[in-house]
Amino acid sequence: MNKFRFQRSQLCIPYGMFLVCFVLAPLIVIIYYAFTDGEGQFTLENLMGFFSSPNTIGTLAYSLGVAVATTGICLMLAYPIAYILARSSIRHRSVVLMIFVMPMWINFTLRITALKEILTMIEGNLAYHPFLNTLIGMTYDFLPFMILPIYTTLLKLDGSLLEAAADLGADAVHTFLKVTLPLSVPGIISGIVMVFLPSMTNYVVLDMLYNSTYIMGSLIGAYFSAYDWHNGSMIALILLMIILVFTLFTNRYADEDAGSSRGGVLG
Amino acid sequence: MALGAVVSGAVAVCGIPGQTVCAKEAPVTLRVCSWEEYIDLGEWDGEEAIELDNGAVIFGERPLYEEFEDWYRETYGREVRVEYSCFGTNEDLYNQLNMGDTYDLVCPSEYMIMKLMAEDRLVPYSDRFYDEHDGNNYYINNVSPFIQSTLESNEIGGESWSKYAAGYMWGITGVLYNPALVTEEEASTWEIFGNPKFNRQVTLKDNVRDSYFAALGILKADVLTDDAFVQSADYHERLADVMNDVSPETIRQAQDLLNELMDNVYSLETDSGKADMITGKIVANYQWSGDAVYAMDQADEEDFELRFAVPRESTNLWFDGWVMLESGIDGDADRQHAAEAFVNFLSRTDNAVRNMYYIGYTSSIAGNEQDDTIYEYLNWCYGAEDDGDTMDYPVGYFFSGDNGDEDYIVETSRSQMGRQLYSQYPPQDIMDRTAVMRYFDAEANKAINQMWINVRCFDIHDVPFGVWMALLAGLLVLVWMGYRKSKRR
């Protein structure tokens, strides 16, 4: 009989299996379909087709536009709230925070349905402002994901740094720009990651708010339901690449910035 | 351990088709896949029982697929177990089949049936199924002559559809409208979707086939409404050809037209249009007749009137039918017998009424001279006492194939024109201008799908000049900042 010896690394096996079955295997299938045509022959046509059609490129631009605008609006709304909340001395801070996070507990289709009625009441006819409505819907949906990480980072901010800055003669504006803001960059970055990427593909919001323009998510769906798995997979792959590049970029930026700001303040 | 191996081994043997020893003891499993909410699930309230004038009392106690198991045992003395599941769209079903899901009996729409037929994936119904002398063959004895002749007259690859498909539900497409704000005249044309009077107050359907049909109706309006065309001897063939035109030139025109329509419609929808009509967000929407009936019923409850109009150019006759799949049946005669019996069971008139009552669509089943349950159900729904405001509404084309048939004239309220009865069993002059939309070959299919994607996508050329400028400015700032940073180091 073999002697069974438990090793800590064996704890990874369940997750490893999950990874292989549901991440790695589908990825290989996607790559296979992306680079083959109907007859199973290798082709780059799907790739070329994506970048040569004004419609697919337009969809990419539109999705990026939605994502950038949503992220920008979320950041502008979330930062002051997170800042006030983190720096305030109110005793029931966690209660106030909960009020912001509470919408997340309600199913999001339900929230968007309610939003639809509210917007109809305000605008009269939703069809005239599809882009604006989409931004409102996305912001509504993703705002908590921006507030939370920024709030957490600001909460951990060492108060003595602010005192030191004041002692050395920095006024409130300077303290914020030179100390608070640079130190909260990691929170901002993780907020951006959590808002930007999903808002590129969250087509349910567009559907429910009557915006008939495709974004990346719906475009993939459209190709799949037209039995064109090859083009659909290629677009999924391109989206994956964008996400990869974006994540690498933000990671690097976050590291670099955290390092330089530490140097600036403490060094 | 040993016991487990024996048990699992026995199951494995039974799983192999053609193991006659097991087949007699183990029940046949029938795997059925159909649309969601497309079969009566029973559990009716006591007072919901439908009492018809011919004495029939119709009541749904349990889901029909469960009652089928009992009926099959009582009728044929054999056991069957139904595994009933649902699909979302024809395309989903097709993708599921390609992914390796096996079903014995499925209920897709006509074009998907054509596609499956063309790909040789269907099992033809047996001769036994079409034997009119067998009292248990409810389908062939009860199917509407109108549906059966449509199935027989349409062919693909030299074989008529009726060999492979049994009609289930059918309907046409049209325009559901709010008569307070839209006239019947305005709603009776596909051009309503481009009518600037209803800017951002009409919705199209969110699928390529329905939208393409509407686009063709507008593009070819001159031909379609031309008297010489309508009165020509081969009108139906020519109409079908026009409404199935997928030449590259027509597709290109349709794309331009649909792009224009997109700037006029409120949105594209599949399901939300019915509620939006009632809440008043929109005043007209592209609608399937069955859903139109449902929406009108809902609106009636809120004292809000909706009506249904059928465009004068042409309308799309669609139907869903039961087909048996080669991959599921796999030569198993017992399984095929059960599948055909399932179709027959659903075609029994009382079950057809139950389904119609539950789903709201029109069944392909009409009954026969001995069994007028379906016709009586129509009277039960729409019949009216003669109070001077009634009219004769002939439905003979559906029930006996002759619209002059005195036996099939519903006496109904005049207000039913443009309402539920009109949508469920449209008058014959409307049925005359129906066209069945065929399945397009791979190339044409790809072209119209691409056309639709192009319509739905944002064109990069539409990016406003200001945005390009802002992007350029942003890029310059970034470069400048990077430059400064590197210099500082």
Number of domains in chain B: 3
**B215 and B145 within one domain:** no
> Which residues share a beta bridge with B123?
B324
In a domain, B119, yes or no: yes
Q: How far, in Å, CA of B164 to CA of B106, rounded? A: 12
Residue B448: pLDDT band with limits 50, 70, 90: very high
In a domain, B185, yes or no: yes
Domain CATH code at residue A107:
1.10.3720.10
Average pLDDT in the B350-374 region?
93
- Both tokens of A177, joined, read 């720009």
**B433 and B307 within one domain:** yes
Residue B15: pLDDT band with limits 50, 70, 90: very low
- Is B179 buried (19+), middle (13-18) or exposed (0-12) by CB count in 10 A? middle
**B194 and B49 within one domain:** no
* A101 vs B63, higher pLDDT: B63
In a domain, B412, yes or no: no
In a domain, B18, yes or no: no
The residues, any chain, with a CB within 8 Å of residue A146's CB and separated by 6 or more, are A71, A74, A75, A77, A78, A191, A192, A194, A195
Q: Among B95, B200, B269, whose Cβ lies nearest the Cβ of A125?
A: B200
Amino acid at A82: A
Which of B211, B263, B453, B481 to mutate against chain A (most A CBs within 10 Å)?
B453
**B360 and B296 within one domain:** no
- Is B469 buried (19+), middle (13-18) or exposed (0-12) by CB count in 10 A? exposed
Mean per-residue pLDDT over chain A, rounded? 87
CA atoms within 13 A on the CB side of A198: 16
Q: How far, in Å, CA of B91 to CA of B469, rounded? A: 42
Q: How far, in Å, CA of A264 to CA of A252, rounded? A: 18
Q: Nearest residue on chain B to A231, judged by CA atoms?
A: B450
Q: Is B341 helix (H, G, I), strand (E, B) or coil?
A: helix
> Which residues share a beta bridge with B51?
B57
Q: How far is A222 from chain B (nearest CA, A)?
A: 7
Domain CATH code at residue B148:
3.40.190.10
Provide the CA B155 distance to its chain's centre, in angstroms. 19
Q: Which domain holds residue B484?
A: 458-489
**Phi, psi of B31, rounded to the nearest 5 degrees:** -100, 110
In a domain, A6, yes or no: no
Number of domains in chain A: 1
**B336 and B189 within one domain:** no
pLDDT recorded at residue B22: 44
Q: Tell me which residues of chain A have a C-beta less than 8 Å from any C-beta of chain B.
A: 54-59, 61-62, 65, 120, 125-128, 210-214, 218-219, 222-228
- Integer-rounded Cα Rg, in Å, for chain B is 26
Helix spans in B109-172 (H): 110-118, 138-142, 145-153
**B302 and B188 within one domain:** yes
In a domain, A20, yes or no: no
Which of B87, B457, B459, B463 to mutate against chain A (most A CBs within 10 Å)?
B457
pLDDT tens figures, A184-210: 999 999 999 899 988 988 888 998 898
Residue B6: pLDDT band with limits 50, 70, 90: very low
Mean per-residue pLDDT over chain B, rounded? 90
In 3D space, the residue among A62, A33, A58 whose CA is nearest the CA of residue A47 turns out to be A33
In a domain, B35, yes or no: yes
Q: Which domain holds residue A147?
A: 29-266
pLDDT recorded at residue B317: 95
Q: Among B201, B262, B459, whose Cβ lies nearest the Cβ of A54?
A: B459
pLDDT tens figures, B460-480: 888 888 888 998 999 999 899
β-strands B155-156, B159-160: how paired? antiparallel
Average pLDDT in the A144-154 region?
92
Residue appearing with tokens 């349990």: B62
What pTM was estimated for this model as a whole? Answer: 0.86
In a domain, A129, yes or no: yes
Residue B11: pLDDT band with limits 50, 70, 90: very low
In a domain, A96, yes or no: yes
> Do the Cβ atoms of B457 and A213 come within 8 Å?
yes
* Domain edge (last residue) among B358, B375, B392: B375
The residues, any chain, with a CB within 8 Å of residue B181's CB and separated by 6 or more, are B283
**B295 and B219 within one domain:** yes
For chain B, what percent of residues have pLDDT higher than 70?
95
User: What dihedral do alpha carbons B318, B322, B327, B331 form, nearest 10°?
Assistant: -140
Is A180 a residue whose pLDDT tops 60? yes
What's the complex ipTM?
Answer: 0.84
Residue B453: list chain A partners with CB under 8 A: 55, 214, 219, 222-223, 226
> Which residues share a beta bridge with B28?
B80
Residue A211: list chain B partners with CB under 8 A: 267
**B158 and B49 within one domain:** yes
In 3D space, the residue among B317, B211, B118 whose CA is nearest the CA of residue A222 turns out to be B211
**B437 and B356 within one domain:** no
**B138 and B114 within one domain:** yes
Residue A214: list chain B partners with CB under 8 A: 453, 456-458
In a domain, B213, yes or no: yes
In a domain, A7, yes or no: no
> Do the Cβ atoms of B453 and A55 come within 8 Å?
yes
Q: How far, in Å, CA of B318 to CA of B107, rounded? A: 13
Residue B23: pLDDT band with limits 50, 70, 90: very low
In a domain, B437, yes or no: yes
Q: Nearest residue on chain A to B93, judged by CA atoms?
A: A225
In a domain, B451, yes or no: no
**B75 and B180 within one domain:** no
- Both tokens of A244, joined, read 């990869």
Q: Is A79 helix (H, G, I), strand (E, B) or coil?
A: helix
* B425 vs A38, higher pLDDT: B425
Q: How far, in Å, CA of A265 to CA of A242, rounded? A: 34
Other C-beta atoms closer than 10 Å to the C-beta of A8 total 6
